[in-house]
Amino acid sequence: MAKFTREVLTVDGVKTVVHTAGSGEPLVFFHGAGTVDGFDFAEPWADKFRVIVPYHPGFGESGDDPTFTDMHDYVMHYLELFDIMKLDRFNLVGLSLGGYLAAKFASEHGHRIKKLALIAPAGMLDAKHPMMDILAVPGDQVVGLLVSNFEVLKKRLPEKLDLDFIGERYRESATVARLLWEHPGDPKFMRYLHRVKNPTLILWGDEDKIIPVQQAETWRKFIPNADIKVYKGAGHLVHLEKPEAVEAVSKFMS
Amino acid sequence: MHGSYRFNAMHFMPYVHLPENHKEFKSVWVDFPNKYYDPEKGHDLYQRYLSELVLADQLGYDAVVVNEHHNTAYSMMPTPNLIAAALIPQTKNCKICIWGTPPNFMLPNRLAEEYAVLDVLSKGRIEVAFPLGTGMEYWSNPVNPATAREKFKESLKIILQAWTEDGPTTHYGQYYTYRFLNPWPRPYQRPHPPCYIVGTGSPETIEIAAELGFGYSAVFVTQQRAVELNENLRKRAAHFGHTIRPDQTPIMSFAYVAETQERAEQEYIGHLQRFFEDFTRTTPHFLAPPGYLSVEQLKMRAAMADKLHGAFDFKTVSSSFFIAVGTPEKVANQIGEWSHQMKTGHINAVMHVADMPHWKTVKNLALFAEEVMPRLRSKSHAPMRIAAE
């Protein structure tokens, strides 16, 4: 399996780290609100695609831009990055917060996207099946909520929660707070979500404790031609728990 | 030199009737259920606490100090301006320090107005402090902790503009737009009441005080750290062309005085222990909401919290923080030493903690006023004698 190579770019003054692997049609992955889960799960995609995994500003290896205060700043950031990388049309996969961003990007710039996959996406205001307010949950409890089988996540965590790890998670939660503290959901996002016309696959674990799996159907109300795949016994990080979910994205994009 | 002495009596006005099972709650802040607040008991406590601050005025304290906290049994003052308004007609000479309302939780013009009203009502007895607000307050108020410092700076600018420039003026900022900034009334003291910043030592906050030439008081930091912070404030203020006077850096302290050392400790330590163990009890999550601290500060404080773990130990606590307990002579000497270290005679002393009963508070206030204050005031114009150990 292809390994990722790391590239450091400057996008509108912000240090942006992009990991790429494989060749073929481009497939961009937007990570979620934390980066503890790593990217090695995406290696199988590199057998068929040129996989492009950027760190969002304020997360992981990329730099900070405290002027980013809403999701649209990230859409603008990616327009710039894709220009720099000369990426015209690509497949897009988004996980959780990255799913929210991917769907927002698609609602504004759908013509740039070939196919869209949303893994347990955030951003949906669903009064009947609300997302957990993750900012209100203490950091040490968050990890336990992310998966059904803790073993798959445990090996990615440091043995002892050291200061650097705590600091890095705090930095990422601060980035999320800048975006979502006052308004965890944006009615305007849903107002324009119907503009997503791309072939879309929605993936969810049926034991997702953070965003209830019932939201998959709510998403389909906005994106009627979306396919839904639900994985039994998986939590929010369904891509870590179920390799077949990763495989399903690959098949769908091919 | 530390200037002349000035003594403030500070009160947190805690709600002392914690339920029996309160230890089951990790925090008495933010999510501590408010069903445990009994307004009838609350009424009695307000009456009592106000009478204690009124007594402080009668005993000759230079100032009384109130402050603001939300969603907590630690303090019954979510709106300290109302407490100050209640104190004004009952007190004659003392300054009333509101240290203070975090500007982020009020519209800036409204805060400028309320402080001005109090200053006019009291004929210029008001002093104010501008805290960023503890992390806990950002879980209790709908304000983003990640942008709190920027918003705080803008609020301060608006308040000072409202007080120092003839209105109407305008303000077009990131968080607020004022087309007619023109608050009536204006403060009694010209250009405005003395202003301080209070904080727990974030360099970002000290920088704001330095830039504005405001006073600064570090709270809940160790003695050693408070000395460093004061030095740093003076240095940074000089950089901005301000000279910080000794009276601008009050020492936040705890004092208890009794006839003998043994008696003082016996009467006081249990209350102090409950103050630290029960009333300040909260979680790291509530202390540091996302973005409230820089990552460096978060890591520094997390490392410090690890070290502070363990049971309450009076000797450790009282030697780390500014806590003076004992005979009048001992307490006076202790304060004299702090004053020398911190280069200020401005002593802000918490005279009541946790579930301390009324009689002890009255005793403490009286003994401190009659036996400690004169000892220090008589020395205040003489050069400080440095212990020659």
Q: What is the number of residues in chain A?
A: 254
Q: Give me the numbers of helices (H) and strands (E) for chain A, helices first please.
A: 9, 8
pLDDT at A3 (0 to 100) = 84
A160 contact B CB<8A: no
Is there a domain that residue B250 lies in? yes
Closest Cα in chain A, distance from residue B87 (Å): 36
Is there a domain that residue B133 lies in? yes
Which residues of chain A make contact with B137, given a CB cutoff of 8 A?
none
Domain A5-253: homologous superfamily in CATH: Alpha/Beta hydrolase fold, catalytic domain (3.40.50.1820)
Q: How do residues A69-112 score in pLDDT, each as one tens digit?
A: 999 999 999 999 999 999 999 999 999 999 999 999 999 999 99
Tokens standing for residue B86:
């209640």
Task: Give yes or no for a contact between B141 and B79, defined as CB atoms under 8 angstroms apart.
Answer: no
Contact A174 B299 (CB under 8 A): no
Range name among A123-132, B213-222, B325-334 with the lowest pLDDT average: B213-222
Residue B383 banded pLDDT, cuts 50, 70, 90: very low
Rounded mean pLDDT, A139-148: 91
Which residues of chain A make contact with B305, given a CB cutoff of 8 A?
none
Range of the domain at B161: 6-377
- The domain tally of chain B equals 1
Q: How do residues A162-218 score in pLDDT, each as one tens digit?
A: 899 999 999 999 999 999 999 888 999 999 999 999 999 999 999 999 999 999 999
Can you give the CATH number for the domain in which B195 is found? 3.20.20.30
Range name among A20-34, B103-117, B242-256, B296-310 with the lowest pLDDT average: B296-310
Domain ranges, ordered by start, for chain A: 5-253
Which residues of chain B make contact with A174, given a CB cutoff of 8 A?
146, 290-291, 295
Is there a domain that residue B32 lies in? yes
Contact A166 B288 (CB under 8 A): no
Question: Interface of chain B against chain A, CB under 8 Å?
Answer: 139, 142, 144-147, 283-285, 288-291, 293, 295-296, 298-299, 302-303
Contact A170 B284 (CB under 8 A): no
Rounded mean pLDDT, B148-153: 95
pLDDT at A18 (0 to 100) = 98
Q: How do residues A37-77 score in pLDDT, each as one tens digit?
A: 889 999 999 999 999 999 999 999 999 999 999 999 999 99
Closest Cα in chain A, distance from residue B220 (Å): 22
pLDDT at B157 (0 to 100) = 97
CB burial class (10 A; 0-12, 13-18, 19+) of residue B60? middle
The residue with greater pLDDT, B305 or B312, is: B312
The residue with greater pLDDT, A230 or B307, is: A230
Q: How do residues B7-22 score in pLDDT, each as one tens digit?
A: 999 999 999 999 999 9
Q: Who among B283, B291, B299 is closest to A163 (CB)? A: B299
Tokens standing for residue B299:
């890591």
pLDDT at A160 (0 to 100) = 78
Rounded mean pLDDT, B327-347: 97
Residue B382 in this model has a pLDDT that exceeds 60: no
Residue B2 in this model has a pLDDT that exceeds 70: no
CB burial class (10 A; 0-12, 13-18, 19+) of residue B26? middle
* Residues with Cβ within 8 Å of residue A12, at least 6 apart in sequence: A76, A77, A80
pLDDT at B380 (0 to 100) = 59
Rounded mean pLDDT, B142-148: 97
DSSP state of B315: H
Q: How do residues B248-306 score in pLDDT, each as one tens digit?
A: 999 999 999 999 999 999 999 999 999 999 999 999 999 999 999 999 999 988 887 76
β-bridge partners, A54: A18
pLDDT at A1 (0 to 100) = 58
Contact B295 A163 (CB under 8 A): no
CB burial class (10 A; 0-12, 13-18, 19+) of residue B173? middle
pLDDT at B201 (0 to 100) = 85
Rounded mean pLDDT, B231-248: 96
